[in-house]
Structure 1
Amino acid sequence: MPPEWSIQQIHTVHHLEVLTNALSDPRGALIITPHLGTWEMMNAWVNQYGTPTIMYKPMKDSGFNAFALHARQRLNATLVPTDASGVKALFKNLKQGGFSVILPDHVPDPSGGVVVPFFRIPCLTSTLASKMAQKTQCRLVGLSCFRREDGEGFDVYCDDLNDPELYDRDIEIATTALNRTVEQMINRFPTEYMWGYKRFRGDLENKDYYK
C-alpha cells in the first residue's frame, strides 16, 4: 500500500504534543517501539515528522534483503545495519538533533545486554537504548499503534518516557527502568503484544521458559 493510504488509516493520535515537543528538542529524540500492536502501520505516519534513522537486521537472502530495504526506505527513513556502523549512525543522528527508532525488547547477543527483570522474569535486555539516552541525554518517547475497537483504522499513543532512572549511569538501573516503561506500554493492551516473540529466552543461565 502507498504511504498516503497508511497515513489515512491513523484516526486518533493520543498526546501528539509529546512527540512533537521531543522532535523539536536539539538533543534529539529516541523513539521506543516494542513488539506491540501494529508498529509497521505507523511507519509512514511518524516519518512525516522527519527522516528517522532505524536499525534493521540484514537478511541472508541478498535479493529479498534489497527488496525489503527499498520498501522501508521509500517511507523517508534511513536504515542502518545492526552492527557497529549502525550504532555509530544512530549516535550521530541523535547528536545532530535528529531522531532514531529502536525496538527495545529484542533479545541481544550476551555482549550487548544485561539480565534485568521484565514482568518479574530475569531477561537478557539490550543496553543500546539506555546507553544512547545516557550519552546524548536525548528525549525518549514511546510509540505504539493499535487497531480501533470499531475496526475503522488505527490509533497511535505517544508516551513521554521521563523517568530519571532511564538516564542512570548504572546500566542495570537504566535497563530495568526501560523494561518498566515497556511493561506499562504493553499493559495498555496486553493482548496486542507479540508474545510469540520469545522475549524470555535469554537469561544467560540457559533456562528455557518455553519448554
Structure 2
Amino acid sequence: MGRGLGLIFYRIGSKRQHVARTNLKLCFPEKSEQEIEFLLKENFKNTGIALFETGMGWWWPDWRVRKHATIEGVEHLEKAHAEGKGVLMIAMHYLSVEINCRSIGFGHPMVVFYRPHNNQLMEYFQFRGRGRSNKYMLGKRDVKGLIKALRDGEVCVYLPDQDYGRNKSMFVPFFAVPDAATTMGTLIFARQPDIETVMVTPTRNDDDSGYTLTISPPFKDFPTGDDEQDLIRINQELEKAISYKPEQYMWLHRRFKTRPDADAPSVYK
C-alpha cells in the first residue's frame, strides 16, 4: 500500500519530484538518466512507505515496535555509559527515522535534538511520538540544553545532514557537490569534554521483515580542531551511510538551497 501511495506522489508531486531529481543528479553525476529515474521512482515508493512508518513509530505500542527492530553496535553505547561519558549520536534523514527513533530508545533512551513543526497539531503528535521510548526532546535552538545533556552522560541524537542555512555553517563537499552548506553544530557538541561521537544508520530490511540500526564504533581522533577537515569527515561518513541504501534516504529536502554566493541562482530552478 505504501509503495502504491508513493507512486501516486511520484506522478502528481512535480515540485518535490524536481527537488529530488536535482539532488540525485548533483550527488551522482556518474549515473545515467535511466539510473537516476529508477532511483527517483524507488525513492518515492519508499516515501509512501515512510508515511505509514511514521504512524507506526508514533502510535504502535512498545512491544510491537521492538519486535521489528534489530540494533547492532549497542556495545559502543554501553562502554561509553560505563566510562561515564556522554554520546553524540549522529544520524541522517533516512525515511524510516520515525520508527527507528523509537526502536533505539528501548535499550538506551535518548535526548533528541529536533526542529519543532510549524503546525501546532502536527507538533503535538510529533513531540509526543518521538518522545516515546526516549528521555526528552530539545528544540533546535536549545543548544545549551543539549550540551548539558551530553555533559550529564546522556545519549543525544543529532542530524547534521540537511541544509540549515548560512549561519554557523561552512561550505564543504557533500557527495559530488564541492560547496554544500554544512552545519557547525556537530563540532560544537562533539568538542565537549568526555564525549564519544558515533553514527547510527537506520534502514528498512530489503525483505520488509523489519529494521536494522547499525551503531558505529566511536570516531577516533575527533574532532581534531581543524573545523573544515572535521566537517569533511562527517560528510564523508554520511555519504557512506546514505549510499548503503540511497533509495531510502530523504532526497525531497532542498539540501543545496544555500549557496556560497547569496546572489547565485537556485540549483532548483
Question: Structure 1 vs Structure 2: percent identity of aligned residues?
Answer: 24
Aligned partner (choices 232, 235, 240) of residue 179 of structure 1:
235
**TM-score if structure 1 supplies the norm length?**
0.88
Aligned partner (choices 100, 121, 132) of residue 63 of structure 1:
121
Deviation at 1:163?
A: 4.2
Moved more, 65-74 or 115-124: 65-74
Aligned length: 207
Deviation at 1:185?
A: 1.1
Which letter does structure 2 place at the counterpart of 1:136? P
CA contact (8 A) 1:161 1:181 kept: no
**TM-score if structure 2 supplies the norm length?**
0.70
CA contact (8 A) 2:86 2:151 kept: yes
Deviation at 1:51?
A: 3.4
Moved more, 99-108 or 17-26: 17-26
Corresponding residue of 1:116? 172
Which letter does structure 2 place at the counterpart of 1:6? V
CA contact (8 A) 1:163 1:177 kept: no
Tell me whether 1:87 sits opposite 2:143 in the alignment: yes
Which letter does structure 2 place at the counterpart of 1:5? R
Deviation at 1:102?
A: 0.4
State the Cα deviation string for residues 125-172 of structure 1 (Å, max 9, x = none): 0111112112335111111222212221112211225242x4022221
Which letter does structure 1 place at the counterpart of 2:62? P
Corresponding residue of 1:153? 210
Q: Aligned pair in 2 of structure 1 residues 137, 188: CA closer, same or farther (>3 Å)? A: farther
Unaligned runs of 5+ in 1: none
Deviation at 1:73?
A: 2.1
Corresponding residue of 2:245? 189
Partner Cα separation in structure 1 for residue 193 and residue 163 of structure 2: 23
Instruction: State the structure with more CA Rg.
Output: 2
CA contact (8 A) 1:37 1:144 kept: no
Runs of 4+ in 1 over 6 A off after TM superposition: none
Corresponding residue of 1:16? 74
Q: Aligned pair in 2 of structure 1 residues 114, 93: CA closer, same or farther (>3 Å)? A: same
SS in 2 for 1:201: coil
Partner Cα separation in structure 1 for residue 154 and residue 216 of structure 2: 18
